[in-house]
A and B are shown apart, each in its own frame.
Chain A
Amino acid sequence: MSVLEKGLSEEEQLSKFMAKIEAGEKIEADDWMPEDYRTALIKLISMHGISEIMGALPEKEWVPKAPSLKRKLGIMAKVQDEMGHGQMLLRVTEDLLKPYGKTREDLMQDLFKGDLKFHNVFHMATKSWADAGMVGWLVDGAAIITQTNMLNASYGPYARALKRICSEEVFHAQHGEAIIMALTEGTVEQKLMIQECLNRWWDSLLMFFGPASKQTTGSSKQDITMKYRIRTKTNEELRQIFFTKYIPRILSLGLTIPDETIHFDQEKQEWIYQQPDWNEFKEIIKGNGPKSQERLDLRRTSYETNKWVRDALAK
């Protein structure tokens, strides 16, 4: 698809491209880019975008149920932001898809067919109001760590979208913290509710960062994204940052981490922890998670039920 600049060979284009990103310059949608850069971006950003759209659903389960006027407003704004983040990321993806003639419609169909995956955490069930807090606090906390890792991504439109997204994530984290603290400082039942919730989410949170290497699950896109300066840190480095930032905070609220072995090894300068079941991770991503099909069905039903609206105005 890429059209060569006058007189430059493919190799010359590539070395110009690499020199540009290595100098910290940004690539824009219209610029020449190697095919595998484009495909890596499409894969990464479409998954990120659709994860926001699918990720709105588990939290949305608690939107109409939020237990006070203030919480009703807060969680509406929070889930709205997730949809808004999805909007921006899908726009970035859609512009990258132009050479292939694909549109948002195709992205939605890819999602329904199971070709476009979404993050493992959004395949999980929510069971109590504590989940609304947990998603805002720790799931978004994990997301903030992976997203800030790409704030300087070589692809300009993605970096700019992430900048907008990350500034809104600050509100999300605080919204989550407010819910969590109300529970940890609340009644015995509320404390049990949040501890049970943490126990359920812990493995999913570890999985969120992806496997440490492709040996773990057989595939990993971290190599190519690092080569092209889309991200700078490995999955494991990000997971370790998450531990460092959040473990002390979790413990300070009187919560227990459901992993007796977890500790910081001073000599190795890293957190030692129990690995989650990476086979389960693979199954979840494939669409065999506890709520995968239900959530897809929810999205599909609403998309198809409203098709007449899009048809009506498409003229």
Chain B
Amino acid sequence: MKRINGSGTLWRNRWGDRGGYMVEEAKKTFYEEYEVFSKRTSTTPMQYQFSLLAPNDDMALMMAQENFMRREPVADIWVVKRSNIRKVTVEERDMLQRLDNKDYRTAKGYGYLKKKWRHYEQQMIDEKEILSWGGDQRNDGK
């Protein structure tokens, strides 16, 4: 495989230890790689299952459930051709690091408000309180 600098189709990193832009040699085979995702119930998030080989999308879908979810309920399935996934390359993994100085972005950085609300004889509205509003409790004015 040849490396092209700057332009060309994005080379979907085949085994990830090289980054950069390359031209993929697209020769389709019976053994195309698919990643399989599924949802257990309608309320649970998509979860990664495993990968399989199949000649095309429809076949991959026909095989996915029985290969990886034979013994569990399934509410939905995604099959994704691996070459369509833009993964973080090993070199790019450095971009995932960040400093631990982002309190301003979390509730942790505003903890002092609790004390201040107490001063105003009110309770702070925290995460627990907010998430409890989702229920169907009645507003009794208190």
Q: Indicate whether A and B are direct neighbours in the complex (CB within 8 Å).
A: yes
- Closest-by-CB residue of B relative to A33 is B17
Distance, CA A161 to CA B50, complexed state (A)? 9
A156 at the interface (CB under 8 A from B): no
The answer on a CB contact under 8 Å between B15 and A98 is: yes
Least CB distance, A157 to chain B, in whole angstroms: 9
Chain A interface size band reads 20 to 34
Main secondary structure of the interface of B (DSSP, over half): loop
The answer on a CB contact under 8 Å between B50 and A2 is: no
A246 at the interface (CB under 8 A from B): no
B56 at the interface (CB under 8 A from A): yes
A310 at the interface (CB under 8 A from B): yes
B90 surroundings in chain A (CB, below 8 A): 5, 30-32
A188 at the interface (CB under 8 A from B): no
Distance, CA A31 to CA B87, complexed state (A)? 13
Least CB distance, B41 to chain A, in whole angstroms: 20
Least CB distance, A91 to chain B, in whole angstroms: 5
- Closest-by-CB residue of A relative to B90 is A30
B61 at the interface (CB under 8 A from A): no
The answer on a CB contact under 8 Å between B55 and A313 is: yes
B87 surroundings in chain A (CB, below 8 A): 30
Chain B interface size band reads 20 to 34
Distance, CA A267 to CA B1, complexed state (A)? 62
B83 at the interface (CB under 8 A from A): no
The answer on a CB contact under 8 Å between B31 and A105 is: yes
A25 surroundings in chain B (CB, below 8 A): none
Given A30-B15, A32-B17, A98-B15, also A314-B29 (CB < 8 A): yes
B43-73 to A contact mask, C-beta < 8 Å, 1/0? 0000000111101100100000001001100
- Closest-by-CB residue of B relative to A4 is B17
Contact for A103 among B14, B31, B55, B70, CB less than 8 A: B31
B18 at the interface (CB under 8 A from A): yes
Least CB distance, A25 to chain B, in whole angstroms: 13
Contact for A91 among B30, B50, B59, CB less than 8 A: B50
B76 at the interface (CB under 8 A from A): no
A21 at the interface (CB under 8 A from B): no
Distance, CA A29 to CA B82, complexed state (A)? 14
Distance, CA A196 to CA B30, complexed state (A)? 45
The answer on a CB contact under 8 Å between A88 and B50 is: yes
The answer on a CB contact under 8 Å between A6 and B91 is: yes
Distance, CA A68 to CA B6, complexed state (A)? 66
Distance, CA A105 to CA B32, complexed state (A)? 12
Given A5-B90, A104-B53, A310-B30, also A95-B59 (CB < 8 A): no
A88 surroundings in chain B (CB, below 8 A): 50
B138 at the interface (CB under 8 A from A): no
- Closest-by-CB residue of B relative to A168 is B71
A6 surroundings in chain B (CB, below 8 A): 91
Distance, CA A2 to CA B90, complexed state (A)? 12
B31 surroundings in chain A (CB, below 8 A): 103-105
A67 at the interface (CB under 8 A from B): no
Distance, CA A6 to CA B59, complexed state (A)? 41
B16 at the interface (CB under 8 A from A): yes
Given A5-B90, A313-B55, also A95-B15 (CB < 8 A): yes
- Closest-by-CB residue of B relative to A314 is B30
CB contact list, A112-158 vs B, under 8 A: none
Residue ranges of A at the interface with B (Cβ–Cβ < 8 Å)? 2-3, 5-6, 29-32, 80, 84, 87-88, 91, 94-95, 98-99, 103-105, 161, 164, 168, 310-311, 313-315
With A88-B50, A103-B31, A168-B71 known, 14 other A-B pairs at CB within 8 A are A5-B90, A30-B15, A30-B87, A30-B89, A91-B51, A91-B53, A95-B15, A98-B14, A99-B15, A310-B55, A311-B30, A313-B56, A314-B29, A314-B55
Residue ranges of B at the interface with A (Cβ–Cβ < 8 Å)? 13-18, 28-31, 50-53, 55-56, 59, 67, 70-71, 87, 89-91
Could you give 19 example pairs across A and B, Cβ below 8 Å?
A3-B17, A3-B18, A5-B90, A5-B91, A30-B89, A30-B90, A31-B17, A31-B90, A87-B52, A87-B67, A91-B53, A95-B15, A105-B31, A164-B50, A168-B71, A313-B55, A313-B56, A314-B28, A315-B28
